[in-house]
Amino acid sequence: MEGIIQIDTIYYFILFFVAIFAGFVDAIVGGGGLITLPALMASGIPPHLALSTNKLQSVFGSFTAMLTYFKARSLAYLGLGVLFTALGATMGAILVLYINDKHLKLIVLVFLALTFIYTALKPNLGKHKGEAKINIKLFHFIFGLILGFYDGFLGPGTGSFWIFACVVFLGLSMKEASINTKILNFTSNIIALIVFLCFYKLLWDIGILMGVGQIIGAYLGSKLVLKTEAKFIKKLFLAVVFLTLLKVTYDYFMS
C-alpha cells in the first residue's frame, strides 16, 4: 500500500468543482469517471488509491441521480440486472487489487483512450424508441456481468456503455436509457466500494469532498434530463475528457 499521500490545497478546490461537473455529466450521459479518475491521478494520487477514492465519491453522485429518477418513475423491474451487476462488480473489484500499480496506470490510459474514441465516434442513436433485439432477462445477465465487472475493475465510461447497450439492444431512447441505467451504475459503484473498504484503503477527505460535489452536479443533471434531451452535453463532455486524457498521458510518460 502507498504511504501518506500529500495533496496540495489547490487540488482540493479543483477536485470539488471537477466532481460537480462530473456528477452533472454522469447523470445525463454517463462517463463521469472519465473526468474524475484522471483528475485524481493528475493530482498525484497513485492508481489503486485513485480507483478506491473514485468509487467513494462516485457513489454519492450515482445515488443522487438514481433517487431523483426513482421518484419520477418506477425502476423496480431492474432487479435481475442489479443482481448480476453486483456479482460482476465483486469479481472486478477483487481482481484489480492484484494488478501492479505500473501496469494498472497503463491499463487506465488504454481504457480512457478507447472510451474517448468510442464516445467521439458513437453513432447518432437513441433519438427515438426502437425494437428490442434481445430478451431483457438475457440482456441483464450478459451486460450485468460484463459491465459490472468492468466498473468494479476500472469504471470510467461505465454509464456511457450502459446507455449505449440499452439503446442498441433494448431499443430504448437515449433519455430512457440514461434513466434506467442509473440504478445499475449505483449497484456496481457501491459493491466495488465495499470491496475496497474490506481489502484496501481510500482517501476519505477527498472522497467525501468530491462526493458533496457529485450530489450537487447529479441533482442538477438528473433534473435537466427529466426536462430536456440535453443534446449539448456530448461536445462539452468530449472536450473535458480529451484535456484530462492529455494530462494523464503526459504524467505517465514523463514520470
Report pLDDT digits (tens) over 38-91.
Answer: 899 888 898 889 988 999 999 999 898 888 877 656 556 678 889 999 999 999
Beta carbons of 170 and 108 less than 8 angstroms apart: no
The phi-psi region of residue 171 (left if phi > 0; otherwise alpha if psi is between -120 and 50; otherwise beta) is: left
Separation of alpha carbons 116 and 107, rounded Å = 14
Q: What would the mean pLDDT of 153-160 be, rounded to a whole number?
A: 78
- Give residues with Cβ within 8 angstroms of 115, minimum separation 6: 31, 34, 156, 157, 160, 161, 241
Beta carbons of 75 and 69 less than 8 angstroms apart: yes
Secondary structure of residue 115 in the 3-state scheme: helix
Q: What would the mean pLDDT of 237-253 be, rounded to a whole number?
A: 67
The single-letter DSSP state of residue 133 is: S
Beta carbons of 43 and 249 less than 8 angstroms apart: no
- What's this model's pTM, rounded to 2 decimal places? 0.78
Domain boundaries, the chain: 9-254
pLDDT-based confidence at residue 1 (cuts at 50, 70, 90): very low
Separation of alpha carbons 221 and 22, rounded Å = 10
How many CA atoms, within 13 angstroms, populate the side-chain half-sphere of residue 214?
27
For the chain, report the end-to-end CA distance as a whole number of angstroms.
Answer: 19
